[in-house]
Amino acid sequence: MKTTKRTVVVGAGVTAIAAVVVGAGVTAIAAAVATPVLAGTAAASTHTFNLKMHQVSDRHVDQKPAGFSAGDEDLQATRLTDAGKTVGWETGDCLTTRVGKSAAVQLCRFVFNLHDGQIVSTGAVKAGRGGPGTFSLAITGGTGTYADATGQVSVTAVNRGSVPVTIDASY
């Protein structure tokens, strides 16, 4: 039996190595292993921002039926600070998708506008009678410096005053 090894470029920076076994009139692929080509790829580093959101505007849009129900939307705009200094602004909305006897579920999107670009986050939030407490949203991308951002945003909802938010972003 004769074994030959071939390196084949599959595409998008992926190389496949295949061992072809030839013998007794039969050709078979014995193994194919795909590995990413890392040459020239910069590793993303994680950056943590501990900020406070200060309410600028807040609006609840009540859809039919009257009262808190699926389809209602909460809209917000906040000023972002770091150690008391304004570093940007945030805008967001939460669409109520379900209201039960003891909890509601909302789909939320927050966009953090910082000096070097935007960080976009989204996720489902479940809130009981006392509010959602601390919840996390996935970072789904951004613009500028944060164009390829991933990670998560953690928000600790409070009834009054500034709202603590931690952004853990890799870019």
Q: What is the predicted pLDDT for the residue at 41?
A: 53
pLDDT above 50 (res 170): yes
In what order do the strands lie in the sheet containing 26-36? 2-11, 14-23, 26-36
Q: Residue holding tokens 């999107």? A: 109
User: Mean pLDDT throughout 23-50?
Assistant: 55
Q: What is the predicted pLDDT for the residue at 113?
A: 98
Q: Residue holding tokens 């789909």? A: 107
Confidence of residue 16 (pLDDT cuts 50, 70, 90): very low
DSSP assignment string, 15-39:
EEEEEEEEETTEEEEEEEEEEE--T
Give the lowest-confidence range in 16-20, 80-84, 99-103. Answer: 16-20
Tens digits of per-residue pLDDT, 49-95?
Answer: 999 999 999 999 999 999 989 999 999 999 999 999 999 999 999 99
Q: Residue holding tokens 């909802």? A: 157
- Give this prediction's pTM: 0.73
Q: What is the predicted pLDDT for the residue at 159?
A: 74
Q: What is the predicted pLDDT for the residue at 164?
A: 97
Q: What is the predicted pLDDT for the residue at 161?
A: 84
Tens digits of per-residue pLDDT, 156-168?
Answer: 998 778 999 999 9
Tens digits of per-residue pLDDT, 121-137?
Answer: 999 999 988 889 999 99
